[in-house]
Structure 1
Amino acid sequence: MNEIPLSALFASLGVLLLLSGFFSGSETALMTLNRYRLSYQADQGVRGAILARRLLDRPDRLIGLILLGNNFVNILASSLATVIALRIGGEGAIAIAAGLLTLIILIFSEVTPKTLAALHPERLAYPAAFAYTPLLKVLQPIVVSVNVVTNGLLRLLGVRPQEGQDNALSREELRTVVNEAGAMIPERSRDMLIAILDLENATVEEIMIPRNEVEGIDLQDPPDELITSIRRANYTLLPLFDGNFDNVIGMIHSRTAMHALLEQGLGRGQIDKDYLRSIAREPYFVPEGTHLYQQLVNFQRVRQRVGLVVDEYGDFQGLITLADLLEEIVGEFTTDPADAYPDIHRAEDGSLLIDCTITIRELNRAMRWSLPTHGPKTLNGLIIDYLETIPEPGTSLKLEDHPLEIIQADDTAVKTVKYRAEPGRMLH
């Protein structure tokens, strides 16, 4: 060693430090790669991504290879530094050399390359994959031997190396990914993706048309009222019932019903109710508590667009349509809630008058609020639950930092509230 020039020793030490930085940085780069972007690029045929994915399929072997190389060059660098210290200053310089080498390795072979790799993992990971792939084949016997020992130690600790490699995202993790996508996904598209994820958290009774608001045709009505109901129907498909909604006969198309009335004696004030029964479609019933995503699948499976929601006793609770479900995903095509929601009206002073029969879910969507949906389903129910009493008109309160004023109320329910945005806050 004394015959080797100091310049050669310093050059060798520099090469070892560079190799140490390569091992440290490439380890960080490979371990911080976005696995989903990596899979996409590998599927697109990017060679570096293909090799990196193969290496990461066995992370224990990859880490073993990297640490084997890193420790080897670090130990060799320490030995060279000791030799250089002895050549220059004798035994007294060994401690100084050790301190300087530690500082140099920390700065140039650890912190700097690892920081760079964390910021730009693909720039280092993909080229490193080209080097590690053949190196792993050459050193595989040593790496496998090391892995056998380390995996055995892990099993003694109750850890199986094969576990914990599931990269599937949970619903909440996927929501976070979508929210943090930023400009990569337009805001409207992000809202739609999150709405699809939310379908699994909501049930049909949260968005259904409640029983007291459902339009239908009652065969017990006098002919004139029955004709008026059909003429003024706001919906294409209407429930046909006999006496009350608990005795639903089927669903009838309003246009078909009008043609039937014209054919069966509308001009003579006569209606053949048996004929209306005969043209009614078989009703499609939906159990309450069905999640919206499952109901969307059910509508597609049974090829239906309208369902009658019933409780566990078979009593009619409301009506849900495919349009309601799709609206949960795509939202409204307007920025002013007073234009899109019939339960929200804009007053002359710019405030919003809200009908308290509106559901909390619909109100959240209209106003971009986040009122709790796990309790009462309507704004009236939420206000009463919050105040623990039915308030008098003129009462003011705040729900989740949203100021509301009771405008109309009776002995049984809150009818209307006013919402005015506080200074500095805009109405959505």
Structure 2
Amino acid sequence: MALSLILTLVLVVLCAFFSMSEISMMAINRYRLMHRARNGDKSARRVLALIKRPDRLLGVILIGNTLVSNIAASLTTQMTMNTFANSSIAALIATTILTVAMLIIGEVMPKTWAALRPEQVAPPCSRILTPLLACCFPLVVMVNGISNYLLRLCGLRQLKNEEPAMSSEELRAIVSDAGRLMPARNHSMLLSIIDLDKSTVDDIMVPRHEIDGIDLDWDDVTLLAALRRTQHTRLPVYRSTINNVVGILHIRNVPEIINQPAQLSAAIVAAICAPYFIPESTPLHTQLLNFRQHGRRLGVVVDEYGEVTGLISLEDILEEIVGDFTAHVQPSQAGIFEEESGCYRIAGSTLLRDINRHLGWQLPLNGPRTLNGLLLEHLENLPQGPITMRIDNYQFEVSALQHNAVVSARCWKLDPADVRYQRSSHAHR
């Protein structure tokens, strides 16, 4: 009786081992496991070798688990029939107790532990599963052969785990969940790099009306004044209109040009390099590689008709990754001014990306790029006077209009309770 009880307890423990092995092998983080394996971790390599063929791994685990459960049930039944006179009732009671023990100790507890601690459970389990798989290989192959044949009839052809590929959204989720495992600055930079493929050149370019350039048709006095007051490292050079860009002038060549006032236009033409044109729909991550491939730092952005729509520099793309290079960029420099009431007065030409960045808002970026464009898109007409409107959780008061455009607007974020009240009132009406 004592020997049978001890053997039954051992079988329950073995059942718990197989349950832990199954869950830990399936729940373990494969990317962290691959990293450890590349760094020479033998246990990680052993686990990877097992999960590479899940059909064989599950085969040996389930064969062992089924065998242990059946032996335990048979042993318990035989033990009770030999010990008690009323063997039928005793066998029923013993089987019930064994089922509860198997369920709690052999299944729920070990599987819960393995699901919460897969990286602690899987490596020790792999030390036993690897030789066990080698010993039971013929049986495993026979069982898997039958099950794999049935799976192929159901349409499953791939039975070997390929190295998992990740989408940008999955990678973003992993980086977001890293939390305290990486510094906040690195966390922000990684997310910015992942999001580069969502943004295009026209999202961050300097728009056409803000371009500072040199017009070769200007007189010499105007050209000299423009060269002396410029604060940019590179300037586009054009004739008559910005659509006719003839080159890019580097500021290092300006002293030589100024020393030749008699031949100013000719000196500028001799000092410029050929312009580099970029389609406005180019993704930022592609353009970053193009800048490197062509050895350029400034590009002229053109639309599908060849019209110049803006300028973009290598620094603009890098700022999308690491943030503004200027240490203390004030919101007022982006056209955002805070009022005493807590509202903000924002210029209509302010980029929505800058508003979101400075104020922590989430204005939509999948349409117009400026506040003026966003308001006019939602109004669907040109306002004839002051108007108030709400976009998502934000309220806007348009008060200043000029030349069919919004010059500025008062903006503030609505309290969630106010938004729910407005929606319920609208639904009631």
The question of a shared fold, defined as TM-score above 0.5 by the shorter chain, is answered with: yes
What is the CA–CA distance in structure 1 between the aligned matches of 2:134 and 2:290, rounded to whole Å? 52
Whether the 8 Å CA contact 2:301–2:310 is kept in 1: the answer is yes
Amino acid at match of 1:192: M
CA contact (8 A) 2:393 2:414 kept: no
Cross-structure match for 1:246: 243
Task: Flag the 1:327–1:183 CA change in 2: closer, same or farther, 3 A.
Answer: same
Root-mean-square deviation over aligned CA pairs: 2.2
- Cα-to-partner distance string for 1:160-205 (whole Å, 9 max, x where unaligned): 1336645111100111111111111222222211111111011101
Return closer, same or farther for 1:335/1:94 CA change in 2, 3 Å cut-off: farther
Who is 1:130 aligned against? 127
Give % identity.
39
2:265 maps to 1:273: yes
1:21-420 map, 5 Å = 21-89=16-84, 90-162=87-159, 165-261=162-258, 263-265=259-261, 270-332=262-324, 338-339=330-331, 341-347=333-339, 351-391=343-383, 394-420=386-412
How many residue pairs match? The answer is 415
Distance in 2, matches of 1:341 and 1:179, equals 30
> Deviation of residue 100 (structure 1)?
1.7
Gap runs ≥5 in structure 1: 1-5
Residue identity matched to 1:76: I
Native 8 Å contact 2:388 2:395 kept in 1: yes
Aligned-residue offset at 1:364: 2.2
Q: Which runs of 5+ in 2 are unaligned?
A: 418-429
Instruction: Give the whole-Å Cα distance in 2 for the aligned partners of 1:404 and 1:279.
Output: 48
CA contact (8 A) 2:398 2:409 kept: yes
Aligned partner of 1:141: which letter?
P
Distance 1:423 1:132, change over 3 A: closer
Provide Cα deviations, 1:346-372, integer angstroms capped at 9, x if missing partner.
446654322221222332223222222
Describe the SS at the equivalent of 1:249. strand
Q: What residue is the counterpart of 2:423 in the other structure?
A: none
Residues 70 and 61 (structure 1 numbering): CA distance in 2 closer, same or farther, change over 3 Å? Answer: same
CA distance in structure 1 between the partners assigned to 2:43 and 2:289 by the alignment: 40
Give per-residue Cα distances to partners, 1:258-279, cap 9 Å, x unaligned.
4312x212xxxx4431221111
Amino acid aligned to 1:241: Y
Q: Retained in 2: the 8 A contact 1:239–1:250?
A: yes
CA contact (8 A) 2:19 2:110 kept: yes
1:20 to 15, 19, 38: 15
What's the offset of the Cα at 1:333? 6.3
Which amino acid counterpart does residue 73 of structure 2 have in structure 1? S
Bigger shift: residues 366-375 or 205-214 = 366-375
Normalised TM-score (structure 1): 0.91
Letter in 2 for 1:264: Q
Amino acid in structure 2 at the alignment position of 1:152? Y
